Amino acid sequence: MYASLLLLPALLTTDTPGFAVRVNSSRHEVTLTLGPMRLAGSTPVGEPHAMHHGGHGLPLVRFDWPVSGWIRGFRIRIIDAASRPLSRRHLHHLNLLHLERRQLVEPVYERTIAVGQETEDVLLPASIGVRIETGAEMALLTAFANEAGEDLHGVTLELVITYLPANTMPRPREVRPFAIDLGFRPGETDAFDVGPGRTERKRDFVLATGGRLLGVGGHLHDYAESIALVDVTSGKTLFELRTRADSSGKVSGVDRKLFGVRGNGLRLRAGRTYRVVAVYRNPLGHTLVDGGMAVLAGIFAPDVPADWPLLDRSDKVFRADLAGLDRFGWVRH
């Protein structure tokens, strides 16, 4: 997800939280630790998306990646001052940005890892991974939410990233993150209004290079029902991901599909038009302003990795997206 200008008032802190990068070479893990910080309980009951208005997010933390290899997964832990685990709903979203590579569809920084409230931990098979080199310039973007109505103190986030070392043999198949954000507007929020009843959001895209989608998931907000990928030429729905929600419509998860477990993956062709369709069903009787997001995200194995588009910092879309990120501010670790 991009969330360039998703401004969240739930996080209030007078100082930038601490940040640390640790490598455990025996476990093949890189741990990013952010905190401690204070989360103010400021979201009104019954209005879970009021957090989108006003307020502020944390600055982006810029750092150098510490070890060469292939990223194959991550897990997240959020704890309070007494080291007690907190709900993942306190983390509205997290993006790990690669500042030297671009996304496949959008001419913006690669979101190497993108996590929402409902995103589960990920561990890819050891036969594939996202290649990354020592010294690669990265940045961590985070935004938090606190629906409890009470302040939380001493909150710490741990992002543990599992990697395959550079000497891994046989070498893993190289894959890249794949994401389509239905609300993407460079330099602005990617949230959209969700009116009463059924809301359908669509977006078409064309790939610059073909390849195979090995696995896919999604980021959707409360009251969402599904997100799907359609081949526009044939009219065929290639897959649909459904949300898991409680009786009030509060989303706790989104389905995943793993096309590469028992096969070669879902074939997507360069130059062909595809469409992402997200469906929300709002029972509240009034419009949720900026209440929806819809991101389809997965792992993509390009047919020809050399055909992956290069990052062009002069591109107007890139510059607009960067301006949105600049509004948060940057901190060098």
Measured from the Cβ of residue 73, the count of other Cβ atoms closer than 10 Å reads: 19
Give residue 93's pLDDT.
86
Residue-level pLDDT at 120: 85
What is the structure's pLDDT at 8? 36
Q: What is the mean pLDDT of residues 26-53?
A: 72
Confidence of residue 205 (pLDDT cuts 50, 70, 90): very high
Mapped onto helix, strand or coil, the DSSP state of residue 38 is strand
- What would the two tokens of residue 197 be? 């009843």
Measured CA to CA, the distance from residue 143 to residue 6 in angstroms comes to: 8
Would you state the pLDDT for residue 14?
41
Instruction: Tell me the per-residue pLDDT of 223-244, one tens digit each, with 9 for 90 and over.
Output: 999 999 999 999 999 999 999 9
Q: Is 318 left (phi over 0), alpha (psi -120 to 50) or beta?
A: alpha
Query: Is 70 exceeded by the pLDDT of residue 12?
Result: no
The arithmetic mean of pLDDT across residues 114-127, rounded, is 87
- In the chain, CATH 2.60.120 sits at 19-173+311-332, 174-305
pLDDT at 3 over 60: no
Instruction: Kindly report, residue by residue over 272-297, the tens digit of the pLDDT.
Output: 999 999 999 999 999 999 999 999 99
pLDDT band at 105 (very low <50, low <70, confident <90, very high): very high
> Over 80: is that where the pLDDT of 92 sits?
yes
Buried-exposed string 184-222: b where 16+ CB fall within 10 A, e elsewhere: bbbbbbbbbebeeeebebebebebebbbbbbbbbbbbbb
pLDDT digits over 291-327, tens only?
Answer: 999 999 999 999 988 899 999 999 999 999 999 999 9
Give how far the C-alpha of residue 216 lies from the chain's centroid of Cα atoms, to the nearest Å. Answer: 12
Largest CA distance in the chain: 57
Class of domain 174-305 (CATH, top level): mainly beta
CATH of 19-173+311-332, one of 1.10.3470, 2.20.110, 2.60.120, 2.50.20: 2.60.120
